Amino acid sequence: MARAPAAPEPDLPQPSRLWTAAEANRRLPQLEELLPRLKTWALRLAEVHAEIARLTAFWGPEVDAPDHVDHERKSQLDLEEHHLHQRLEEAVAALRRDGIEVKDLEHGLVDFYGLVGGELVFLCWRAPETDVAFFHPLDSGFRGRRPLPAHLRAAPAGARDGA
């Protein structure tokens, strides 16, 4: 009797793409340029959010009244907050669509979906490392990092230049 194929586990992600270490290494120059920009946006977003919270805590809901002394300032901050949030969301979503997860902007930690020993894992990179040389299971974080097996490691970072 033939068995029906097992349904995919609902908790497992379905990445749009799987990366090899070599492919991920070729993407690093773009990430090295993008991550500081994302970090700057995130820091500014936190500042704007704190200023909005301060104004709201000080003035209460009256700050949103059109004739309030800080209404224009609050409106500008609301607009800036919206734009920063949108830019961050769009940039991170574009990376996710490409099988890349931004784990920590503060430390420049990025994971690429990949395969090691037939298992879906994260190929792990952290700025300023020169190449993707580590991996960890999907359910463990940075602390679960292990070196990639030698046969899966890519050429050193200097070999990225021509790609």
Three-state secondary structure call for residue 88: helix
Render pLDDT for 134-149 as a digit per residue (tens, 0 to 9). Answer: 999 999 888 889 999 8
CB 24 within 8 A of CB 112: yes
Residues 6+ apart with CB under 8 A from 147: 133, 134
Tell me the CA distances in angstroms from 25 to 11, 50, 64, 122, one per residue in order.
28, 37, 48, 14
The token pair that represents 37 in the structure block: 């920009």
Average pLDDT of the segment spanning 44-61: 96
Contact 118, 105 (CB under 8 A): no
In sequence order, what are the residues at sequence separation of 6 or more whose Cβ sits closer than 8 angstroms to the Cβ of residue 141? 103
pLDDT at 8 over 60: no
Cα dihedral 87/97/161/153 (nearest 10): 130
Average pLDDT over residues 108-128: 94
The predicted structure's pLDDT at residue 151? 83
Is the CB of residue 111 less than 8 Å from the CB of residue 100? Answer: yes
Over range 9-29, report the average pLDDT. Answer: 84
State how far the Cα of 121 lies from the Cα of 24, in Å rounded to an integer: 13
| pLDDT the model gives residue 162 | 44
| pLDDT at residue 53 is higher than 70 | yes
- Mean pLDDT, all residues of the chain: 88
Residue 150 reports pLDDT greater than 90: no
What mean pLDDT do residues 30-41 have? Answer: 96
**Among 57-66, 87-96, 151-160, which stretch is predicted with the lowest mean pLDDT?**
151-160
Confidence of residue 114 (pLDDT cuts 50, 70, 90): very high
